Each structure stands twice: as structure tokens, then as C-alpha cells.
Amino acid sequence: MTLRMSTLFLRTLREDPVDAEVPSHRLLVRAGYVRRAAPGIYSWLPLGYKVYRNVEAIVREEMDAIGAQEVHFPALLPREPYEASNRWMEYGDNVFRLKDRKGADYLLGPTHEEMFTLLVKDLYSSYKDLPLSIYQIQTKYRDEPRPRAGILRGREFVMKDSYSFDVTDEDFKASYDAHRAAYIKMFDRFGLDYVIVAAMSGAMGGSASEEFLAIAENGEDTYVRCTSCDYAANVEAVRVPAPAVQEYDDAPAAHAENTPDTPTIETLVDHLNEKFPREDRAWTAADTLKNVVVTAAHPDGTREPIAIGVPGDREVDEKRLGAQLEPAEVQAFTEADFAANPALKKGYIGPGVLGEKRESGIRYLLDPRVVEGTRWVTGADVDGSHVLDLVAGRDFTGDGTIEAAEVRDGDACPNCGSPLESARGIEMGHIFQLGRKYSEALDLRVLDQNGKLVTVTMGSYGVGVSRAVAAIIENSHDELGIIWPREVSPADVHLVATGKDAEVFETAERLTAELEAAGVSVLFDDRQKVSPGVKFKDAELIGVPTIVVVGKGLADGQVEVKDRATGDRENVALDAVVAHVARVVHGG
Ligand code: ATP
Ligand code: MG
């Protein structure tokens, strides 16, 4: 059906919306695809909804193609299943909770593992019923702490989530691989530049997982890739290879020294080089052990101080730390917290007081580089004093290790040792090996061949359907507007009639009908009293990949065909233009 600009429910804007931080948000609002209803909550307008449905159709086709079956759950869900899996609490403030008129608790589903698991449990009881993969395309609700970037991170958004149910590990592997392959097809059809990276499993639980990231400077996810092998991982999931244990038989005993006014690593290193110069080389920040204390706010409301020891040349990476401590939320360790923990001397905190068995009682987690035998300069727990030659394993131990130190370009690849490099991306999809976390929590078991009850193995697979619309724009736009990849564009061609000539409009009208008859969908700019300049600007902003201009050239029997992405234009004879455009659109 032809979309006519004269009647289309559309207002394009010349100005950027004030709250828009990223190009996709700016362009979706300016080109009249979405309107904000509340923070992180958007309405789709006709053009936007067309693109959204194109994306949805691709997702649906690829899921159906691997034999997954579509179901549809409610978004409004009872508390009990989420209580059983512990997520009513674990999800914390991210869940929209509400009560019905009788006072019963409900939530707006942030994700649906529990419901799927229970539905299968309700209906199936034998290995003969499996394997099974079911999915839905559903509106999800998460009270995100920082709804930003428009539909890229909404508080209401659409996700495709699917779940696989298998009895054996081999069958599960096949389900996982089928989803992975379907995702590759989907993301190719979206026209996205993307990478597949190893990921953390987060609140979903389970063992292994991979993420599909759209490569984008504005992405919130940082990933690293190896400059030599095919290793790629979300930075949260990078495992630092632990160095070998070192000999320390001839290490001197640890000794505390006066280091006045050295509360930062920089001041400490300068002081060491001045007052305690080494013979072999200068001291560097990497010789120091920095102890950072944070507060973990657990979902049950308790606040736990945690100390993290990292080499002084590295910062603690908030996201890596957050991912490790999930479902707890990381908060700052405040002045009041220091006052409540007098053993901690700000700027001079050391292993002497850290650890569950030591004075502070604070859990002390160490970077994997702090292996037995490594020697450190670190706080002496006295103002203006540090300890030198403190040997890990001899003089101190932690309560465990933690992957919280920043990962830097040039760090060694955990696979092959070559340098890593980092880039940014937008998480578009996530495939998880859930294992038996939910089936155990909710007791989903079936009888196997021997009549024995076995727990079902599950996988969970998400795609950000609404987010994809924005991510595609992040990948594909210029200073003039959006450039849609063909498969998701709201129309195949944008046909612009310019001038005042009745013949132009009649010809454009006829071409539109002929294009539609040839299977080419048309966004037809049939507005009578709008200048050509405004029409061209709108066409560039809206981003349909092929623009056809019927105007001045018509006197010579010519129509202009323009490629939105490259800017290439060519004049095509009027009687050849329909066949020409159909070829451009359909390929070949
Ligand atoms: P993120 O780290 O970006 O918050 P997530 O790890 O919470 O994502 P999942 O729970 O795995 O995401 O959800 C599956 C998919 O749903 C994600 O890969 C993403 O594409 C999409 N998604 C998640 N949160 C949002 C949101 N707030 N707005 C839009 N899409 C989202
Ligand atoms: Mg999230």
C-alpha cells in the first residue's frame, strides 16, 4: 500500500530534541518515527511502526525456520513463580511491581524464564516430548536506572525471548547451535555490523553465554578482541590469565616505612623513587597494591563492604566489578562508612586489616595477578605509612579473587597471549546456556528412556527487537539523516514529485501505481505546496534507500534515481524507470 506524504501522520522536525544524546534517538524523533510518552517509554508512529514490524518479521521468520514455535505470555505476571526462582528479590528496583485490588502482588515481566519453565512443566512429562524450543515477541518492562538514548534503552521495550528444553547435553548443544545460526541470519538481514563475543551470564544464571553486539561508538558495552586469534569477549567476561607462582625464598621480610603525604599511587611512587630507590629500575605504579573499598547493596537490603586489591597501575572497572557482584549493586564507600570502620585508614588501607578473619572483617578479594610470591608496596593501615616487600601468600592472603581490574589495550589475550584491543558495541542479542538453574528451582523434570526422572536442560535466547531499530540507525546514518538497509526500510523507494506542473504529479501518480504493481512499495511525496528543497531534506532524513525524483527532467523524458547511501544519481528514461527501480530494489 502506498504511503502518501500528503496524508501520512507525520511531522518531521528540523531541530534535534533536547534530550537526545545519540544519533538514533535524534533521528528517530526528527524523522517522525517515535514520540516520547514518558522517560524510557515511546510511542511508534506509522513510519516507525513499519520498520519495527519489518524487524519483527525477520526475527519471526528466522525463529520459525529453526522449528521454534511462537507462543505469547502475558506481560502482567503473578509474584509466585518469581519468588520460587528468587528473582522477585534479585531483580531489585529494576522490576515494576504492583498490586491488584485484593492486595495480591504482581509484576510487569522483565523476562520470562519462570513462565516458560512452568508452562512446559504443566504440559510435558516425558523425554518423548522433547526437544522443544518456544519463543515469544513480547513487551518487557524494566525500571532501568538510566533510561537513555531513546528506544536503545527503554523502560518498556520489545524482546524476542526463546527457550530450549532438552534431556541430553548433545540435544541441548544442537538447540544452542541452531539458535546461534538463526541469530547470525537475523543480524545479517538487519544489515548490522556485529560481533559475537563471550559474555557473562548475569542475573540469568547458568554457565556459558555469548552476546551479539552491534559495533557502535555509542555502545554501552566494551568488548575486546585479540589482534591475532579469534578470541572476542565482552570486557565483563574477560578472564585475566594468572601468572605463575613466584619463588620468594630470598625475599626480605616485609617492612613498614614512613611515607608521609602519599595517599595516591602517584605520590607514593614519587616518594619511593626519592626515598627508597631500587637498584635494578625505578618503582612504578605496577609495584603497588591498591586496595579499594566499595559497598555491595544486596537485593535483600543488606549493605556489605568489600575490599578489592588491584595492581596500582590499574583502575577498578565499575562494569566488571558490577558484573562480578551481581545481583548486588555496587555503591560508593562513604565518609560515614569510613567512620563506621575505624580500622580503615583512607589512602593507606592495606591487607593488614582486610579479610574476613582480620580486624576489619571486610571480605578481601584480589586481582588474579596477585599470585603467591608476588611482592608489593601497599598501605600499612597507619596514616602516612606503607609496607614494602609484602609477599602474597607469605604475608597476606585474600578471601578469593575477583575480575574487577580494568582491561587495557595491549593486555595479553587469554587464548594466545597476543595483544588485545578494545571497541564498543550495543548488546543486540544474548544466548545463554541456562543449564538446570530454572528447571531445578521450578522442578521441571521428565521421565527418561529408563523411566527415571531427569531434570531438563534449558537454554535462553534474547533479541532486542525494538532496540534493533535504533541500533541499525547507529550503524547506518549520515549528517543528513537515516540510511535504512533494504530489508527493514519503511518503503522500497521514496518517490518525490517536485514543482507545480500537473503533468509531473500525474506522471508520479502513474509511476507509483506501476511500481506497486511490480512489487515495489512506495513512500510517495505527493504534497502540492511544499518546496523541492523541503521534500529532498525530508527524503534524506527519512532514509528510504532509493529516492526517485520526478521533476524538471520530465520535459526531456527523464526521471532521477538516487541512492541514499552513496549519493549517486542517474537519469533514467521515463519508460524504463519502473523496470530499473524494480531491479535496484529486488537485486539482479
Ligand atoms: P543490557 O546489558 O543492555 O541491559 P541485558 O543484559 O539486560 O542488556 P538481556 O536480559 O539479555 O539484556 O535481554 C535480551 C536483549 O533484550 C538484550 O540483548 C537487548 O538487546 C534487549 N534489551 C535489554 N534491555 C533493554 C532495554 N532496556 N531496552 C531495549 N532493549 C533491551
Ligand atoms: Mg539490562
Q: What is the pLDDT of residues 183-193, one digit of tens each?
A: 999 999 999 99
216-265: pLDDT as tens digits: 988 999 999 999 999 999 999 998 888 999 999 999 999 999 999 999 99
In a domain, 229, yes or no: no
- 145 and 214 both lie in a single domain: yes
CB 66 within 8 A of CB 182: yes
3-state secondary structure 205-244: CCCCEEEEEEECCCCCEEEEEECCCCCEEEHHHCCCCCCC
C-alpha cell at 305: 563492604
The structural domain count of the chain equals 3
Q: Hey, which of 111, 162, 235, 430 would you mutate to test ligand 1's pocket, going by the most ligand atoms within 8 Å of its Cβ? A: 430
State the distance from the centre of ligand 2 to the C-alpha of 466, rounded, in angstroms: 14
- 455 and 533 both lie in a single domain: no
CB 213 within 8 A of CB 431: no
- 437 and 368 both lie in a single domain: no
Alpha carbon distance 133, 171 (integer Å): 11
3-state secondary structure 340-399: HCCCCCCCCCCCCCCCCCCCCCCEEEECCCCCCCCEEEEECCCCCEEEEEEEECCCECCC
- 169 and 313 both lie in a single domain: no
pLDDT of residue 91: 86
pLDDT at 22 over 60: yes
- Residue 200 pLDDT grade (very low, low, confident, very high; cuts 50, 70, 90): confident
Cβ within 8 Å of residue 442, ≥6 positions away: 81, 84, 85, 114, 117, 118, 121
C-alpha cell at 503: 503533468
pLDDT at 205 over 60: no
| Domain edge (last residue) among 386, 401, 416 | 401
Among the bound ligands, the one closest to the CA of 203: 1
Nearest-CA neighbor of 397 among 422, 366, 360? 366
| Domain edge (last residue) among 445, 474, 503 | 474
Backbone φ and ψ of 94, nearest 5°? -75, -15
- Residue 201 pLDDT grade (very low, low, confident, very high; cuts 50, 70, 90): low
C-alpha cell at 121: 512443566
Alpha carbon distance 382, 344 (integer Å): 9
pLDDT of residue 326: 87
Nearest-CA neighbor of 407 among 220, 225, 244, 268? 225
In total, the chain counts a number of residues equal to 588
pLDDT of residue 20: 87
CB 44 within 8 A of CB 466: no
- 83 and 195 both lie in a single domain: yes
- 198 and 111 both lie in a single domain: yes
| Domain edge (last residue) among 366, 401, 436 | 401
423-465: pLDDT as tens digits: 999 999 999 998 888 899 889 999 999 999 999 999 999 999 9
State the distance from the centre of ligand 2 to the C-alpha of 143, rounded, in angstroms: 10
In a domain, 543, yes or no: yes
State the distance from the centre of ligand 1 to the C-alpha of 432, rounded, in angstroms: 13
Alpha carbon distance 238, 314 (integer Å): 15
Backbone φ and ψ of 176, nearest 5°? -65, -45
What percent of the chain clears pLDDT 70, i.e. is strictly above it? 99
pLDDT of residue 465: 98
Alpha carbon distance 475, 425 (integer Å): 10
Q: Is the peptide bond before 81 cis (omega within 30 degrees of 0)?
A: no
Q: Which protein residue has the closest C-alpha to ligand 1 atom 16?
A: 464
DSSP H or E segment with residue 422: strand 420-435
CA atoms lying within 13 Å on the CB side of residue 466? 26
- 197 and 80 both lie in a single domain: yes
In a domain, 230, yes or no: no
Alpha carbon distance 551, 574 (integer Å): 11
CB 151 within 8 A of CB 42: yes
Q: Hey, which of 427, 433, 460, 463 would you mutate to test ligand 1's pocket, going by the most ligand atoms within 8 Å of its Cβ? A: 427
- 20 and 156 both lie in a single domain: yes
Atom of ligand 1 nearest to the CA of 155: 27
Helix, strand, or coil here: 136? strand
In a domain, 483, yes or no: no
- 329 and 436 both lie in a single domain: no
DSSP-assigned beta bridge partners for residue 558: 573
| Domain CATH number, residue 564 | 3.40.50.800
Q: Which protein residue has the closest C-alpha to ligand 1 atom 18?
A: 429
127-142: pLDDT as tens digits: 999 999 999 999 999 9
Alpha carbon distance 219, 228 (integer Å): 24
Mean pLDDT of 185-207: 82
Measure CA 153 to chain center. 9
Question: Residue 346's domain spans which residues?
Answer: 255-401
140-172: pLDDT as tens digits: 999 998 887 899 999 999 999 999 999 999 999
Residue found under cell 504511503: 3
Instruction: Spell out which residues line ligand 1, taking CB within 6 angstroms.
Output: 111, 142, 144, 153-154, 157, 159, 202, 427-430, 462, 464, 466-467
pLDDT of residue 147: 83
Measure CA 559 to chain center. 44
C-alpha cell at 558: 527523464
State the distance from the centre of ligand 2 to the C-alpha of 456, rounded, in angstroms: 26
pLDDT at 204 over 60: no
CB 160 within 8 A of CB 462: yes
- 266 and 199 both lie in a single domain: no
pLDDT at 304 over 90: yes
Nearest-CA neighbor of 98 among 73, 77, 74, 72? 77
pLDDT at 202 over 70: no
- 90 and 27 both lie in a single domain: yes
Per 3-state DSSP, the chain is made up of helix, strand and coil in percentages (nearest 5) of: 30, 30, 40
Cβ within 8 Å of residue 50, ≥6 positions away: 490, 491
State the distance from the centre of ligand 1 to the C-alpha of 464, rounded, in angstroms: 6
Atom of ligand 1 nearest to the CA of 111: 10
Mean pLDDT of 102-130: 95
Q: Hey, which of 108, 153, 159 would you mutate to test ligand 1's pocket, going by the most ligand atoms within 8 Å of its Cβ? A: 159
- 176 and 262 both lie in a single domain: no
Backbone φ and ψ of 135, nearest 5°? -145, 165
Mean pLDDT of 482-490: 97
In a domain, 301, yes or no: yes
Alpha carbon distance 184, 167 (integer Å): 25
Alpha carbon distance 134, 120 (integer Å): 10
pLDDT of residue 203: 47
In a domain, 8, yes or no: no
Nearest-CA neighbor of 307 among 272, 346, 268? 346
| Domain CATH number, residue 68 | 3.30.930.10
State the distance from the centre of ligand 2 to the C-alpha of 219, rounded, in angstroms: 13
- Residue 90 pLDDT grade (very low, low, confident, very high; cuts 50, 70, 90): confident
CB 309 within 8 A of CB 224: no
Helix, strand, or coil here: 551? coil
In a domain, 10, yes or no: no
In a domain, 9, yes or no: no
CB atoms within 10 A of CB 532: 15
State the distance from the centre of ligand 1 to the C-alpha of 462, rounded, in angstroms: 8
Q: Is the peptide bond before 46 cis (omega within 30 degrees of 0)?
A: no
